[in-house]
Structure 1
């Protein structure tokens, strides 16, 4: 499948707006609030990148939506005018994004979207596995936390660079030839993710840099090296303490101080990262065998931990990687033809 061109629509009635939104974003159930069709308009445009997309919307009506299902998609909203509220039924929290601010939300079943009338906004939608994979490639370390970008101003400071990159991507891709589009789409996605990692939120790169190898105690580094060398073998806290040359209690304190987790928690992260790498590379016979080989004796528990770490199940990641591979092969064929 080749990289898609942009899509969009303009509508000027309640029914037309809802019908078009249902068509372009079917994972949400949409509602429109307008007193009459006389003051009813919405412009929607989507520009496709490699596996992500940029959406720009401007509307006079109020918009509400409820997510029908989990999509494993992270959405980063830049609000230019008006305001957006995103409610999470599970946590009972509401994220409010006022004008001139940017924030992120991970789409999941039951989430509610409420957008004021006379709003305009830009959204960068990207599959969570793609975001995690890119951050891991940049750092060489497992990225297992949930990505959260709280509301910050983007008209100046760190968020502005990402916003400008997305706007430039829209402009360049709209005028690109069919031969140029695959390369440009992939390059702009990588650039957007690099800017997101380096600058937003509050310099994620600096947070990853804390507790680097050169700063951590020698005993902790020895324990981590022992973990990496024995991912397929049973390991206890006593084994790690012997490898590190200190007591189990001292090792626990060091890991809490420098890694923010217990030694066994970090070992689990290493094993999940190894499983993630094996799935991405296709180095596996079955997910159950992979889990057992990495000392996860309960495949169901492995799937739960994996989904918690990477945002989707092992089988969903495998399907995603296969789809990505097919897209890469198709783009290469297009470039050769």
Structure 2
């Protein structure tokens, strides 16, 4: 019994060898289909220490290039998706013999292991792929999103460059200090950043040419970035630094129609099919249009005769009248997009 016990104690549990992924390289290339020429070819290359995503135009020039370091765990997680879904067992092509899909282009997935290379070519959609290949592609797309998204230091640089060049800070701001940031896991990716700074005068924006009180004023600005661009910036929760207006305030806008032009609200009314005993005025149509299409209440709508002589060339010469209205500044963007301009 003693001998058996000793023998049992000497039995060792087999150790599962850790796979050596050091000689593994992955390429994921997207091309063809209906895309902008500047995005004609996109390629992700994954090696043991980094992932690189390159975007090239149709003539081979690099449009954009992103690179991020990978931890050992990140790299192994990518490689393991190939092993777990038995990538080397798949056929070489999954677009032949299928209905031709003209607008999606192609995807080449390549796994290099030492001296062995395996490439699978398919449409750049999941429709004709085996489930395992879909899981591999999803992991590669996830890696592209990770590599191409800006890191915290880059996002902060984008926000700080924008703030210091914006009218309020550029006029008399100083002491810009980072407070915090939050990344929203949304699509597209959004970063919310908060900063504090000091102005030497009261008010907001570029106050050149105006009489302002000299007073040390502390400000808090919250900036939202999307895809390396500033999407919104609000100071003290009351001043829109991008639009340069007090949030909730009413602003006056003007619209100058051109000869022979049918405005968007006139086109909308003409296509409505409504029949009236009395034809509505332009002012009534404008109010109804923005209320119905955008849910925006416009006020003080007027049609003003400019009293000026005008030529009659279509799309070149202005009409002899213009429109005016007031609207809540926070919702005025659709009007600006349709050609209205701010007054003052």
> Is the TM value for this pair above 0.5?
no
TM-score range, shorter chain: under 0.3
Q: Which has more helix, going by share of residues?
A: 1
| Structure of higher CA gyration radius | 2
Structure 2-normalised TM-score? 0.22
Q: Which has more strand, going by share of residues?
A: 2
Query: Which structure exhibits the higher relative contact order, with contacts defined as CA atoms closer than 8 Å and separated by 6 or more residues?
Result: 1
Structure 1-normalised TM-score? 0.23
